[in-house]
Amino acid sequence: MTSDPLRILHCVRSPIGGIFRHIMDLAASQAAAGHDVGLICDSSTGSAFDNALVDQISKHLSLGVARFPMQRQLTIQDLKATRNLYRHIRDLKPDVLHGHGAKGGAYTRVIGTILRMKGRDVTRIYCPHGGSLHYDPNRLEGRVYHTIERALERITDGLIFVSDYEAAAFETKVCQPRALSRVVYNGLRPEEFSPVQANEDAADFLYIGMLRDLKGTDLFIEALHNIKLKSGTAPSAHIVGEGPDEARYRSMVSKFGLEDKVTFHGALPARKAFAMGRCVVVPSRAEAMPYIILETVAAQRPLIATRVGGIPEIFGRYSSHLVEPGRIESLTSAMEAALAHPEAMERLAGTLRGCLAETFSIDLMSDRIMTLYREVRGQLPEDLHQASSQSETDTLPAANPQTIYARTGQR
């Protein structure tokens, strides 16, 4: 337990998916260490499954959970939301405001700045989790969001990136950070490294994730259709998850005549879903550091994934096995190869799992983030400050802008 507890408020617009998994793990770890922790999120986002997770984490948070209406896009309603959030945050007297995603990051940095102008000692931390960095800087929408990010960076005390790729994308699309910045990988619990065995009646493939084009759900269905056209028989598949495009994907399945091969399940715990398929497919067009990849590798499940965001950092020297994003022919070929050579997929799954545990742990993630908080607040012992500065304040990794743009061109 810490001898110097902080009052920490996390803010995110949408309490769903990997971004909320990150917040849950971090907040629970901080609370267990003796800090006073709270959460602010949107009141209109999330299914029954997601809301149950919010209720679950609320039991650990001494500063509670507060939910306010928050719009995804920029609207006039943001002014009302900022006023409501300001009153709530002001009364809780936080030491650290930690914003997650574009909207959560904007609210916390603007409100934190107002509180600082009123004499409060508030530290403003931001983690993009992809967010606005997924936008194409060559399009108007991307230029608008990146200009806003550039302005907000000036009122940021600390930046946390979940992958080297995300850090490089920020440099390329937004600016060279003036604020103290760190790359901190997402972490997993020790029990998540127990292998999961496929059920006897498992489908050939499992898609698990949000149902939206950014995640490549449409590509997954198209690849199943392509295999059917080539071989005369479609592989069996389960689709696990929820999202705004579910109705369209159901229509695609019907259009391609895959109703007897593809089953939609809604949201399920990842490890329960893993047993339902012999090979997990994550065909994302853009990512930061996806939890589903970490969870799949830790569970030692065969995996087909795309070369986007921080995924190559997870695969390391085995990244040649990744599929180029948005290329349906490459995804189809990878899925055909998985059907033809399941033993090779199993061997790769075992190899990847063995490389993961030391780097992607919740304890390490939480420790590095807490160290950043303390360093920004000037509370690190001098020896730790020097070690941190020497090992972590190097220039962020250089990136070819064309590589960054190619990976994030389609939302």
Q: Which two tokens stand for residue 306?
A: 């795309």
CA–CA gap between residue 149 and residue 24 (Å, rounded): 25
**Which residues make beta-bridge pairs with 37?**
8
pLDDT given for residue 381 in this prediction: 63
CA–CA gap between residue 83 and residue 390 (Å, rounded): 40
Neighbours of 50 (CB within 10 A): 18
Helix (H) or strand (E) holding 98: strand 96-100
pLDDT given for residue 411 in this prediction: 27
Q: Are 38 and 65 in contact (CB under 8 A)?
A: yes
pLDDT given for residue 162 in this prediction: 98
Q: How many residues does the chain have?
A: 411
* pLDDT < 70: residue spans in the chain: 381-411
pLDDT given for residue 396 in this prediction: 42
Provide DSSP, 144-161. Answer: HHHHHHHHHHTT-SEEEE
What are the helix (H) ranges across 232-361? 246-255, 270-274, 291-298, 311-315, 328-340, 342-356
Q: Which two tokens stand for residue 368?
A: 């590095």
Q: Which residue has the tokens 């389609």?
A: 410
Q: For residue 298, give the nearest of 342, 356, 345, 347 by alpha carbon.
A: 356
Q: Which two tokens stand for residue 8?
A: 């920490």
Per residue in 7-17, pLDDT tens?
Answer: 999 999 999 99
Q: Are 286 and 126 in contact (CB under 8 A)?
A: no
Query: Which domains does the chain possess?
Result: 7-187+361-407 (3.40.50.2000), 191-356 (3.40.50.2000)
CA 335 to chain centre: 24
Q: Are 237 and 206 in contact (CB under 8 A)?
A: yes
CA–CA gap between residue 314 and residue 185 (Å, rounded): 10
CA–CA gap between residue 83 and residue 76 (Å, rounded): 12
CA–CA gap between residue 352 and residue 119 (Å, rounded): 50
Arithmetic mean of pLDDT over the chain: 93
